[in-house]
């Protein structure tokens, strides 16, 4: 009779590999050690996700993966990217000496296309597809996610690339698993999650399923915050300091009956009203900050169109990228800022907060406080990323009535850091086994506490 543990192991869900093995000599010579390990793993798995934090070189990894797939199949590979990010991808390909072009205007092995032009190509023409900034799959009921999943359901090779998925939303992994053909989101939820109370839209990972869940995720996804997560030296990935400063603008609110002082804006309605009432003062505060350091390049984030218009009026030489800006003008402004041709760029995190490489800029200002941790984090990482050589200074402009919003963002930031650390800890051993086949016995994980056996008479958890 079979051993019970063997039976259980055989029933564990694992993503099936459909890729191919490659030698070290086949990978691009410019890749760093952690990138080479990930590309080799991704080629072997065939349909997988690279969740690597900003600046770890996802563009180079996805381009080399696309090259390898194209060479193996003698067919082109499609790289889908957000607006302006596609231009960066082509520039990176040129720097690597790879043959790449826009999908609508060339016949190169690697073809790049913006997401909004997906309807202009035939997905069946491609041996593989890469989703750059694959967080676009996040909304389960979103039209873009549905269109992408259906368009590439029969594509053999699929790669999704994004920064580490939201640690407070494990179900985001389900939309990636479904796009990759690993399993449906419903299957993932049924096996590893339970409804959290009476709200059927919220799911909680089963306590007893945590180990099996992360083992399963590691069979089709790699999650890396720093090269040290895979046992490599961090080197230049240890970034210079991020310096956060709060600039408070006085805002007078009416004192409610029975109160000695005006209270902070607690409801969304009150917070939006405060944001509009204080618009001129907050924009003036940002303009004053920029005026104090006129030789610096500045990136200014807003949420309201009126904020962008006022900032553009107050800051000479600035360019605003708004939702109404044409795609060509958006691309020109964003790439112009990257080249240093635009001294001050004003835009929104939902427009330019993903994918852009602006590490030559070290000054940033938010004209208001936001509730969205993800948008804030991604916006900051446009400048605070690999290649940044200076301290990055970030100013958060808020009013005296915004304490509830700023506390909420601080709470989310702390929670995200805790959950990201837990995610890395849970996935580490399974991930190393998946990427390297096994965790090398002599691998030293930087920052991992050294455990000394009690019989030696020492204390445990020595660093």
Is there a domain that residue 457 lies in? no
Same domain, 30 and 168: yes
pLDDT confidence of residue 445: 47
Mean pLDDT of 222-240: 87
Q: How far apart are CA 246 and CA 402, in angstroms?
A: 11
Across 161-188, average pLDDT: 82
Rounded CA-CA distance 446/454 in Å is 23
Q: Is residue 363 very low, low, confident or very high in pLDDT (cuts 50, 70, 90)?
A: very high
Tell me which DSSP letter residue 372 carries.
-
Q: Give me the mean pLDDT over the 402-414 stretch.
A: 79
For tokens 């016995």, the residue is 441
Q: Are residues 136 and 280 in the same domain?
A: no
End-to-end Cα separation, the chain, in angstroms: 46
Inform me whether the pLDDT recorded for 439 exceeds 60: no
Give pTM, 2 decimals: 0.78
Task: Identify whether residues 36 and 114 lie together within a single domain.
Answer: yes
Whether the predicted pLDDT of 145 surpasses 60 = yes
| Same domain, residue pair 217 and 298 | no
In a domain, 61, yes or no: yes
The phi and psi torsions of 343 (rounded to 5 degrees) equal: -75, -35
pLDDT of res. 153: 95
Report the pLDDT value the prediction gives residue 407, as an integer from 0 to 100: 81
Report the percent of the chain where pLDDT is more than 90: 47
Among 83-87, 92-96, 354-358, 434-438, the minimum mean pLDDT is found in 434-438
More confident residue, 328 or 199: 328
Whether 450 maps to a domain, the answer reads: no
Distance CA 13, CA 409 (A): 37
Tell me the mean pLDDT in the region 117-135: 93
Whether 456 is covered by a domain: the verdict is no
Mean of pLDDT values over 254-267: 52
Domain containing 209 equals 10-234+422-436
The more confidently predicted of residues 198 and 440 is 198
CA–CA dist 463, 257 (Å, integer): 56
Higher pLDDT, 412 or 449: 412
For the segment 173-198, the average pLDDT, to the nearest whole number, is 86
- Give the separation between CA 463 and CA 460, rounded to whole angstroms: 9
Mean pLDDT of the chain: 83
Q: What integer pLDDT is reported at residue 364 of this predicted model? A: 96
Looking at residue 257, which CATH number applies to its domain?
Answer: 3.40.50.300
Domain-located, residue 454: no
* Residue 408 resides in a domain: no
On whether both 225 and 244 belong to a single domain, the answer is: no
Question: For the segment 275-291, what is each residue's pLDDT rounded down to a tens digit?
Answer: 888 899 999 999 999 99
pLDDT at 196 over 70: no
User: Residue 17: what pLDDT?
Assistant: 67
pLDDT at residue 1 in the model: 45
Residue 92: pLDDT above 90? yes
Residues in CB range of 217: below 8 A, 6 or more apart: 173, 223, 427, 430
Q: Are 209 and 138 in a shared domain?
A: yes
Residue 444 lies in a domain: no
Residue 107 included in any domain: yes
256 plus 220 within the same structural domain: no
Q: Provide the pLDDT confidence category of residue 215 given band limits of 50, 70 and 90.
A: confident
pLDDT per position as a tens digit, 293-333: 999 999 999 999 999 999 999 999 999 999 999 989 999 99
Lowest mean pLDDT among 27-36, 143-152, 157-166, 225-234: 157-166
Q: Are 38 and 147 part of one and the same domain?
A: yes
CATH code where residue 213 lies: 3.40.50.10810
Q: Are 385 and 377 in contact (CB under 8 A)?
A: no
Q: What confidence score (pLDDT) does residue 258 get?
A: 47
Per residue in 181-191, pLDDT (tens digit) is 999 888 998 88
271 and 215 in a common domain: no
Model pLDDT, residue 269? 76
Dist. CA 278–CA 272, nearest whole Å: 10
Statement to judge: residues 332 and 229 lie in one domain: no
The verdict on 206 and 228 lying in the same domain is yes
* Residues 292 and 397 grouped into a single domain: yes
Q: What CA–CA distance (Å, rounded) separates 128 from 453? A: 50
Top pLDDT among 157 and 212 is at 157
Q: How much is the average pLDDT of 264-270?
A: 68
Instruction: Specify which residues 47 forms β-bridges with.
Output: 158
* Count of domains for the chain: 2
């Amino acid at each position: 009779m079979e051993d019970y543990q063997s039976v259980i192991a055989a029933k564990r869900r694992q993503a099936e590999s459909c890729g191919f093995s490659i030698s070290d000599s086949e990978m691009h010579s410019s890749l760093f050690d952690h990138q080479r390990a990930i590309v080799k793993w991704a080629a072997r798995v065939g349909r997988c996700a690279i969740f690597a934090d900003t600046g770890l070189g996802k563009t180079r990894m996805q381009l080399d993966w696309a090259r390898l797939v194209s060479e193996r199949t003698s067919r082109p590979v499609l790289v889908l990217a957000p607006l302006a990010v596609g231009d960066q991808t082509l520039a990176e390909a040129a720097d690597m000496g790879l043959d790449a072009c826009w999908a609508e205007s060339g016949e190169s092995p690697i073809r790049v296309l913006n997401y909004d032009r997906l309807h202009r190509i035939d997905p069946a023409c491609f041996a593989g597809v890469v989703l750059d900034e694959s967080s676009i799959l996040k909304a389960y009921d979103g039209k873009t996610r549905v269109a992408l999943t259906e368009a590439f359901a029969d594509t053999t090779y699929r790669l999704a690339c994004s920064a580490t998925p939201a640690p407070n939303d494990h179900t985001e992994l389900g939309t990636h698993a479904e796009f990759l053909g690993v399993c449906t989101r419903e299957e993932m939820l049924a096996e590893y999650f339970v409804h959290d109370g009476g709200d059927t839209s919220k799911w909680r990972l089963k306590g007893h399923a945590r180990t099996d869940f992360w083992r399963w995720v590691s069979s089709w996804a790699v999650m890396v915050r720093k090269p040290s997560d895979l046992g490599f030296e961090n080197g230049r990935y240890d970034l210079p300091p991020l310096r956060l400063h709060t600039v408070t603008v006085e805002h007078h609110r009416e004192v409610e009956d029975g109160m000695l002082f005006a209270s902070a804006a607690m409801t969304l309605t009150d917070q939006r009203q405060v944001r509009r009432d204080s618009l001129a003062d907050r924009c003036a505060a940002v303009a004053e900050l920029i005026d104090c350091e006129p030789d610096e390049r500045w990136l200014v984030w807003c949420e309201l169109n009126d904020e962008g218009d006022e900032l553009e009026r107050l800051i000479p030489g600035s360019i605003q990228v708004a939702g109404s800006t044409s795609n060509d003008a958006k691309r020109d402004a964003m790439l112009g800022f990257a080249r240093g041709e635009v001294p001050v760029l004003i835009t929104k995190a939902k427009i330019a907060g993903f994918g852009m490489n602006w590490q030559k800029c070290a000054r940033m200002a938010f004209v208001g406080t936001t509730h969205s941790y993800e948008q804030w984090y991604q916006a900051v990482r446009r400048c605070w990323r690999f290649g940044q050589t200076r301290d990055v200074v970030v100013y958060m402009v808020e009013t005296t009535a915004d304490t509830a919003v700023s506390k909420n963002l601080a709470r989310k930031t702390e929670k995200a850091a805790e959950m990201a650390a837990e995610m890395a800890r849970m996935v580490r051993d399974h991930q190393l086994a998946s990427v390297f086949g096994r965790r090398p016995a002599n691998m030293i994980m930087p920052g991992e506490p050294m455990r000394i056996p009690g019989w030696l008479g020492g204390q445990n958890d020595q660093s």
